[in-house]
């Protein structure tokens, strides 16, 4: 085991209370920087080399020091190693010199420098390739040397870091060409003003970079750039031997070499357009070696046997929802897991599949005869579905009325798998409407039709009905004014018609029998004047009789109306059918 007393972590485990944001990764540090006045043993005192000028010689800089092993120890979970990793690239960019590169400068800076560099930002990166893939990152610490603070006794300076989203050149990066490289923002951190070494916890950042959850292109750090404040921080760069930024990483080469096992839960044969997918996994233990546990999952899907699509990447979630699936398409899913030792389960064949069904089924009531000669009769319906199949039906009925008196639909059967039912209690002379809808196995529901799908008129004894008048007003300009035509229909069902009795009433008076007419006569002239009446409202009702003596019940309700207007005072706007009821 090789140990450097100056930079070695004083404990094999970092202080549990440290905040998890890395400073140069500066932005990954989530708390104030810990000055050397903490619980650590003293760092070997150093005399800083002073603040060198901001030169830019476009050189390649000093050779990067090697990764140094500070500790190597066999433990119960594997080999525990602590290493020191020097910064591999660092520079800063200046708003006052937007095309100038400072990759060879001995210092880097953040903040604002009045009369000088203007707003400044730091870019830096660490090469983590020396850390094996199948390790568990226990802890990581960032160490940096603050060379100058402006003002000297300034309060801690807040800063924001962003992950760099693309590679960059240490000796080519400038304000102008780096302006687009900052990606996802990281938690706000602080930089103190005390000159000397400082330490910050960087565990979360190193874990993210090592696992691949974040691409390691380094970070871009921005601090207080308000010109009126003129605040800045100056740090030594890798051009200063012994004072370069570095990482101290504690990791364990785990004895866990088995990959975890993840699988997608079974899905139904058919699913609606939006459906949930679930997955789970286990990390098996080995003899004499505890498993390190699942770190994350990758989940893919494909449609109709096409290319696999990365759906959920490096996620700790165990479920997700597919939105707006395509009707009729087969969706297949597979998952893999990666454990905390870096063991990766290979993708395999599809683990679950389902076909999307977004179209509702179709159902309709079968045709009924025009006339039904019983107060009870069977109503039947059928349906079809393109994919998942019909599970249940809803059927409604209503008793037909006039144009201004249409009853609401009522439920006949609901959520039933049956396809017929006996309708009972039908009344003579009434017409009954029916409609049906279906729902399929994934819950798609057919909307009800606005119009009836089938209807029938019930005739249990003869029925006669006076037809509406058109026009329903008799004016003095009519060709014939002392009479008007009354017409009617006669329905008897299976029996033979015999006669029709026509009743009327005048201006709301008592109902009176006008006359009886033998079948098949279906109209006659009503002599209102000869009957001794005048202008006013005439209402009519027909009562039928068949040859076996069955008589329709008189309802004393108007079936048609006629206004006699010899005084010509009724202004007719339009001739419309009238639905009239007794007051």
Last residue of a domain, one of 356, 371, 395: 356
The model's pTM? 0.56
> How far from each other are the two terminal CA atoms of the chain, in whole angstroms?
109
**C-alpha dihedral, 302 to 308 to 309 to 314, nearest 10°:** 120
Distance between CA 295 and CA 55 in Å, rounded?
45
> Same domain for 203 and 341?
no
Q: What are phi and psi of 527, to 5 degrees?
A: -90, 75
pLDDT of residue 555: 87
> Same domain for 312 and 368?
no
- Asked, for residue 547, whether it belongs to a domain, the answer is yes
pLDDT of residue 75: 75
Q: Report the share of the chain in percent with pLDDT over 90.
A: 64
Q: Report the share of the chain in percent with pLDDT over 70.
A: 86
Average pLDDT over residues 25-31: 30
Per-residue pLDDT at 331 exceeds 90? yes
Highest averaged pLDDT of the listed ranges 77-81, 383-387, 402-406, 554-558: 383-387
> Same domain for 299 and 323?
yes
> Same domain for 450 and 552?
no
How does pLDDT run across 496-555, given as a tens digit for each residue?
A: 889 999 999 999 999 999 999 999 999 999 999 999 999 999 999 999 998 888 888 888
> Same domain for 377 and 350?
no
Distance between CA 536 and CA 174 in Å, rounded?
100
Per-residue pLDDT at 308 exceeds 60? yes
Per-residue pLDDT at 353 exceeds 60? yes
Mean pLDDT rounded to a whole number for the chain: 85
- Asked, for residue 16, whether it belongs to a domain, the answer is no
**Quick one: pLDDT band at residue 483, thresholds 50, 70, 90?**
very high
> Same domain for 434 and 517?
no
- Asked, for residue 379, whether it belongs to a domain, the answer is yes
> Are 223 and 111 in contact, with CB atoms under 8 Å apart?
yes
Per-residue pLDDT at 23 exceeds 70? no
Last residue of a domain, one of 341, 356, 371: 356
The runs of H, that is alpha helices, within 134-282 are 175-178, 203-211
How does pLDDT run across 341-352, given as a tens digit for each residue?
A: 888 999 999 999
Per-residue pLDDT at 581 exceeds 70? no
Mean pLDDT check: name the lowest of 164-178, 265-279, 282-296: 282-296
> Same domain for 95 and 173?
yes
Instruction: Please give the tally of structural domains in the chain.
Output: 4
Per-residue pLDDT at 11 exceeds 50? no
| 200 or 45, higher pLDDT | 200
- Asked, for residue 6, whether it belongs to a domain, the answer is no
Last residue of a domain, one of 200, 233, 254: 254
**Quick one: pLDDT band at residue 53, thresholds 50, 70, 90?**
low
Distance between CA 410 and CA 394 in Å, rounded?
11
Residue 425: Cβ-neighbour burial (10 angstroms; 0-12, 13-18, 19+): exposed
- Asked, for residue 73, whether it belongs to a domain, the answer is yes
Per-residue pLDDT at 41 exceeds 60? no
> Same domain for 113 and 61?
yes
Residue 277 Rama label (left phi>0; alpha psi -120 to 50; beta)? beta
> Are 200 and 23 in contact, with CB atoms under 8 Å apart?
yes
> Same domain for 245 and 289?
no
Q: In CATH, what number is assigned to the domain containing residue 265?
A: 2.60.40.10
How does pLDDT run across 425-434, given as a tens digit for each residue?
A: 998 878 999 9
pLDDT of residue 48: 59
Q: What are phi and psi of 209, to 5 degrees?
A: -70, -40
pLDDT of residue 60: 63
Average pLDDT over residues 171-196: 86
Beta strand spans in 304-340 (E) = 309-315, 319-322, 330-339
Bridge partner residues of 242 (DSSP): none
Task: Give the 3-state secondary structure of residue 296.
Answer: strand
- Asked, for residue 95, whether it belongs to a domain, the answer is yes
Question: Which residues constitute the domain of residue 553?
Answer: 463-564
- Asked, for residue 445, whether it belongs to a domain, the answer is yes
Distance between CA 209 and CA 228 in Å, rounded?
37
pLDDT of residue 400: 82
Q: What are phi and psi of 246, to 5 degrees?
A: -150, 160
How does pLDDT run across 133-174, given as a tens digit for each residue?
A: 878 889 999 899 999 999 999 999 999 888 889 999 999 999
> Same domain for 142 and 38?
yes
> Same domain for 247 and 192?
yes
Per-residue pLDDT at 250 exceeds 80? yes
- Asked, for residue 9, whether it belongs to a domain, the answer is no
> Same domain for 540 and 479?
yes
């Amino acid at each position: 085991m090789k140990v450097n007393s100056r930079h070695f972590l004083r404990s094999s485990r970092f202080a549990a209370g440290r905040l998890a944001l890395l400073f140069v990764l500066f932005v990954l540090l989530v708390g104030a920087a810990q000055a050397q006045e903490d619980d650590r043993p003293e760092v070997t005192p150093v005399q800083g080399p002073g603040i060198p000028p901001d030169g830019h010689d476009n050189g390649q800089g000093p050779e990067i020091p090697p990764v140094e092993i500070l500790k190597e120890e066999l433990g119960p979970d594997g080999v525990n190693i602590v290493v020191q990793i020097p910064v591999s690239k660092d520079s800063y960019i200046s708003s006052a010199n937007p095309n100038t590169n400072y990759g060879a400068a001995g210092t880097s800076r953040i903040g604002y420098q009045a009369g000088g560099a203007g707003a400044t930002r730091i870019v830096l990166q660490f090469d983590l390739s020396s850390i094996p893939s199948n390790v568990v990152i226990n802890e990581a610490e960032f160490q940096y040397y603050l060379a100058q603070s402006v003002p000297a006794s300034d309060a801690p300076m807040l800063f924001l870091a962003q992950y760099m989203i693309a590679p960059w050149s240490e000796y080519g990066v400038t304000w102008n060409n780096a302006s687009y490289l900052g990606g996802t923002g990281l938690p706000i951190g602080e930089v103190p003003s005390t000159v000397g070494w400082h330490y910050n916890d960087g565990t979360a950042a190193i874990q993210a970079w090592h696992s691949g959850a974040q691409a390691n292109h380094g970070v871009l750090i921005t601090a207080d750039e308000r010109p009126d404040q003129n605040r800045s921080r100056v740090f030594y760069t890798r051009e200063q031997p012994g004072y370069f930024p570095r990482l101290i990483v504690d990791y364990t080469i785990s004895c866990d070499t088995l990959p975890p096992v993840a699988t997608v839960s079974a899905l139904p044969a058919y699913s609606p357009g939006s459906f949930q997918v679930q997955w789970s996994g286990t990390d098996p233990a080995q003899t004499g070696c505890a498993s390190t546990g699942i770190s994350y999952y990758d989940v893919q899907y494909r449609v109709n046997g096409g290319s696999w699509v990365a759906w959920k990447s490096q996620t700790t979630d165990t479920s997700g929802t597919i939105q707006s699936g395509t009707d009729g398409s087969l969706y297949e899913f597979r998952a893999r897991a990666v454990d905390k030792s870096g063991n990766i389960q290979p993708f395999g064949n599809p683990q679950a599949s389902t076909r999307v069904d977004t179209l509702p089924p179709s159902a309709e009531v079968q045709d009924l005869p025009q006339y039904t000669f019983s107060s009870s009769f069977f109503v039947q319906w059928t349906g079809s579905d393109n994919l998942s199949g019909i599970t249940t039906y809803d059927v409604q009925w209503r008793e037909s009325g006039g144009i201004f008196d249409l009853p609401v639909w009522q439920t006949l059967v609901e959520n039933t798998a049956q396809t017929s039912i006996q309708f009972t209690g039908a009344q003579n002379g009434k017409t009954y409407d029916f409609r049906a809808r279906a729902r399929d196995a994934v819950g798609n529901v057919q909307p009800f039709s606005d119009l009836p799908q089938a209807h029938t008129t019930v005739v249990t004894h003869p029925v006669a009905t006076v037809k509406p008048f058109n026009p329903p007003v008799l004016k003095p300009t009519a060709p014939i004014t002392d009479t008007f035509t009354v017409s009617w229909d006669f329905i008897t069902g299976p029996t033979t018609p015999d006669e029709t009795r026509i009743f009327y009433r005048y201006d709301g008076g008592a109902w009176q029998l006008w006359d009886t007419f033998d079948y098949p006569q279906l109209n006659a002239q009503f002599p209102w004047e000869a009957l001794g009446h005048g202008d006013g409202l005439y209402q009519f009702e027909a009562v039928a009789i068949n040859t076996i003596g069955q008589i329709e019940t008189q309802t004393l309700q108007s079936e048609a109306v006629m206004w006699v207007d010899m005084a010509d005072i009724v202004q007719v706007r339009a001739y419309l059918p009238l639905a009239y009821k007794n007051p």
